[in-house]
Chains A and B, each alone.
Chain A
Amino acid sequence: MSEFLQQLLNGLSLGAIYALIALGYTMVYGVLRFINFAHSEVFMVGAFIGYYLGKLVPEGTLWGGLLVLAGAMIGCAILGILVERIVYRPLRGGPTINVLITAIGVSLLLQYTGQIVFGAAPRTFPPIFPSANFHLGTLTISSNQLFVIGVAVALMIGLQLIVFKTKIGTAMRAVSLNPKAAQLVGVNNNVVISFTFGLGSALAAAGGILYALNYPSIDPLMGVMPGLKAFVAAILGGIGNIPGAALGGLILGTVETFIGGSQFSTYKDAIAFAILIVILLFKPAGLLGKFTAEKV
């Protein structure tokens, strides 16, 4: 029983990070109908900004850690907005497949630029937040795990509030529903799209910092696997659907952890992805997604 609870906790803290990254995929898809494959590299850049900022603040302090987290989120928001402005915007209006291929290009560009700028060798991420372990019976909870879950939940609630309670959130939903009609009623699509990229990238940066806190070895290719898993999580929950992305991330993290702890640990990723295929066979639009016919 305690092993089950421990695995559940491990799975949820891993899933919370997938969820944060998945939110970025799903938001961009919701507004622009394309998958921003460069998102996993924004996640990597977030961890590296955290690494360099982490050297400027004292280790293991709450305010220092929060400062680093905020700095990385702002840095990545700017990166996300720039990528959209420079690369994706000139292609807008063209076939979606062009943007998709370009996104893969941007992803590779960031990976290899990262190897030149940061070096290809792994770095050790500093312990920027205070950390401790709590024991509840045989259950061991590390403060990092709690922190990951806490920050992820807080950011997701914040995101929900932005999307549903603010003017810009209403505009985002309007653009998502029908970009032309939104423009007709006075929504500036460019601003909304930039904002969406900025917000999604900030969440990826937070994911990057949380990931690096839990697994303190970072390198320029660190985004590839978590990015792929988060992409799968977004599809699993129903791409374009914000609570769906969160749910997808949590499910994927938990399933992966339970299989990793069983005798089938060799097939961890294979089984996690097989479950995804089965779910999509029965619910093609994802768990919370609504299936709509594509208009031609």
Chain B
Amino acid sequence: MKLPARFLLALAAATAALTAQETIKIGEYASLTGKEASFGQQSHKGLTLAIEEINAAGGALGRKLELFTEDNQTKPGESATAAKKLISRNKVVALIGEVASGRSLEAAPIAQAAKIPMIAPAATNPKVTQTGNYIFRVCFIDPFQGTVMAKFAQNDLKAKRVAILSSVSNAYSVGLAKFFKETFVANGGLVVSEKNFSEGDKDFRAQLTAVKAANVDAIFVPSYYTEAALIARQARDLGLTVPLFGGDGWVADQLLEIGGDALNGCYYSTHFSPENQEPVVQAFVKKFKARWGANENPDAFAALGYDAAFVLVDAIKRAGTTDGPKLRDALAATKNFAGVTGVTNIDANRDASKPAAIIAIKGGKLEFLKTVAP
């Protein structure tokens, strides 16, 4: 992006004037690189866009916002270090992160101990906010997502016998598999085969061969996108033609890039679809493309990152301070906050209840199927 020199000078002068007055420091930890880089990149872009918009409108409490970002490289253990650094060195007043439940669970105890509110944009495992009263989220939780997909499998896919393929070393995967199974079995379905793998595995033929022998109608794969895509490819290689379906962990451009045609006839649930024609969604898509390039499509995590920033700023404005305990109380009192992913109401468990969107993959493209209300 090229800017005229005069504008840049004015901008520099403006920033100089602002730094004189202290900024409101916000910390972000995200998987900007590594296996789940797409999660971090998307939420980071959504969050950055929101902060820029808020600053352009004058910031909060008469001060500008400043974002400090740490990359956890998708590695276990790094999120805790990143959270510590953001809190103790950068003195942030709030943390935003992460998309993945496992990594949010690593940072949550640190935010809780330091009495720094943390907002997870897209961590869906219930345990994340159970860590303590300073931990919030702006997305739905897995018991809801599991129920949505169990009903979808029964009513729309007409599946009676399903297999579940989940990752044992991933809190999100284990939780979602459990909640799906509870509803599916309670409604009279049969889970005939449950197979596990570990994060970073690339060979799933062994599990899929066993699943094939179990003769199922559909396979539930509550994993992240890299594994889901590889599982789909290997399933088709083995002659398994039944639909695969999963949760919001599938959301990433790399899903179709790695999985290709193997994913046709598969489904997943998510928080947001850029294909949704509602004006607020389309306005967000337009702003996102204007900021990050015409080829960049915001996905659910970009939208949730964007909403997380606005929910935080809304709370800062209501609290009238960035003081941890007061900001926490204001966040807990968030009601009817309208964002691009729907209306956010923070409940007693510091979770948000929001509608889920179901996406179908057809002919190598994503199709918005329907929204399921909470």
Of the listed stretches B29-37, B52-60, B126-134, B365-373, name the one at the interface; the rest are far from the partner chain. Answer: B29-37
Of the listed stretches B1-9, B15-23, B226-234, B339-347, name the one at the interface; the rest are far from the partner chain. Answer: B226-234
Query: B230 near A215 (CB under 8 angstroms)?
Result: yes
Query: A133 near B237 (CB under 8 angstroms)?
Result: yes
In the complex, A173 Cα to B203 Cα: how many Å? 36
In the complex, A212 Cα to B371 Cα: how many Å? 37
Of the listed stretches A71-79, A120-128, A189-197, A201-209, name the one at the interface; the rest are far from the partner chain. Answer: A120-128
Q: Which of B74, B209, B239 makes the CB contact (< 8 A) with A3?
A: B209
| Interface residue B238 (Cβ < 8 Å from any Cβ of A) | yes
| Interface residue A84 (Cβ < 8 Å from any Cβ of B) | no
A240-266 vs B, Cβ < 8 Å mask (1 yes, 0 no): 000000000000000011111110011
In the complex, A172 Cα to B35 Cα: how many Å? 40
Known contacts A120-B34, A122-B254, A219-B35: does B237 contact A142 (CB below 8 Å)? yes
Query: B197 near A265 (CB under 8 angstroms)?
Result: yes
| Contact residues of A: prevailing secondary structure | helix
Number of residues on chain B facing chain A (CB within 8 A): 32
Q: Which of A14, A135, A260, A266 makes the CB contact (< 8 A) with B239?
A: A135
Q: Which residue of A lies closest to B198 (CB)?
A: A269
Q: Which residue of B lies closest to A259 (CB)?
A: B206
Contacting residues, chain A, for B213 (C-beta < 8 A): 2-3
| Interface residue A10 (Cβ < 8 Å from any Cβ of B) | yes
| Interface residue A188 (Cβ < 8 Å from any Cβ of B) | no
Q: Which residue of B lies closest to A115 (CB)?
A: B33
B99 CB → nearest A CB, Å = 15
Query: A260 near B33 (CB under 8 angstroms)?
Result: no
Query: B206 near A258 (CB under 8 angstroms)?
Result: yes
* CB-CB contacts below 8 Å: A132-163 with B: 133, 135, 140, 142, 144
B211 CB → nearest A CB, Å = 9
- 12 additional A-B pairs beyond A7-B210, A124-B257, A265-B197, beta carbons within 8 Å, are A6-B209, A120-B33, A122-B258, A133-B239, A135-B239, A144-B237, A215-B230, A217-B229, A219-B34, A261-B195, A265-B207, A266-B196
13 A-B contact pairs sorted by A residue (CB < 8 Å):
A2-B213, A3-B213, A6-B212, A115-B33, A120-B33, A120-B73, A124-B258, A133-B237, A133-B239, A219-B35, A225-B200, A260-B195, A265-B207
Closest 10 CB pairs of A and B: A260-B206, A120-B33, A215-B202, A121-B37, A261-B210, A10-B205, A261-B206, A140-B239, A257-B206, A3-B213
